[in-house]
Structure 1
Amino acid sequence: SSSLCCIESGTECSIKPEGDECPNECSDQGRCEDGKCVCFPGFSGPDCSLSDCPGNCNDKGTCVNGQCVCDPGFTGPDCSSESCPDCSTKACPGNCNNKGQCVNGKCVCNTGFTGPDCSTKACPGNCNNKGQCVNGKCVCNTGFTGPDCSTKACPGNCNNKGQCVNGKCVCNTGFTGPDYFIQIFFIKHSRLYLAFILSSETEGTLC
């Protein structure tokens, strides 16, 4: 089909095929050329019905009816400006180094970390106040041992000839230490003296 179109003087008429018409007459926001809308500045779409946003909101917002709705942290007609926080939340040092949560300006550290900014590796039991924490490991004071310095140590580790129990050595069979009380009994048997050694204790500080 076709439509009749007259020029402004009204003296001439021409037949204009419908195929050359533009959708929705370009919504009065553009001109029709060869069946396609050439939109005026600020409008877009096949029929120029969409309002453009400045700078396409710089990919930091959404265009709604020609106005930018900016993403959090951005502002301005084209969302190109960074917005400032309202400063109502107390900040934590170093943002807790991503090893804890910031609660009212103080870091609540994850397990295994400590310090005001959670940057320090924690030691088990804080070394029970019997040693120093160095890079997450306890360096125990003299007389204490164990991963958390909670165990009493024995001198010389019982020379590897016994077990350390509560700071005292329980010696293996055949070994003794200076804290052992030794009693020797001599019994005459025929012409020989037999010696019997009796120990009154089974533990001491050394073996």
Structure 2
Amino acid sequence: MLLDYDLPEYHVSKRKALPSSVEETLLESTRSEWEDHPRFGGKASFFMSIHRNLLDGAAQLSRGIERLLDVPASDVGEAVAQMNLLPFAKNLIGFAHHHHEIEDHGYFPQFGLMYPELNRGLSLLDGDHKVLDAALDDTQAALTQLNDPVVTRDQLACLHKGGQALENILNRHIWDEEEVIIPIFLRHG
């Protein structure tokens, strides 16, 4: 790895923006102008729509878990079933893992060869994916507790905290990832 990912300025759960050491290596591009670019309708738009789906799904999952906090303990199982929460979460988590695999094994290595100056940013995104994959797995494991006959308030509170953390990590990561990769798609369609 080209950076010490555990430092607060790099770690996805701690950083507030792209680190300057990554930002200074980005291809020239202005986010507000992306949609007007003649090549935006190709892979750039496609990837951004996938990212919007992931963000919307994480927000929906977080809201669903939050609604469970107001449900009497004896009714949690029924509420989970009515919301279709477990199948939804399983699909969202599987989709996110699959998307990261495509990026990690397909796009990022190719982009690193095309633009070696972006390797620091790609290394950052790779670190993000490791944290995200762990957060997704932790969320999946915590969600399985909703199958238990009795779900405690503490379990729901822990699950809610994890859902919010996952949503925050995804928001930070996706924003930063787009800053690194969308300009490449705009150059190459």
Using the size of structure 1 for normalisation, the TM-score is 0.14
Determine which structure has greater relative contact order: mean sequence separation of CA pairs < 8 Å that are 6+ residues apart, divided by chain length: 2
Using the size of structure 2 for normalisation, the TM-score is 0.15
Q: Which entry has the higher C-alpha Rg, 1 or 2?
A: 1
Richer in strand (by share) = 1
Richer in helix (by share) = 2
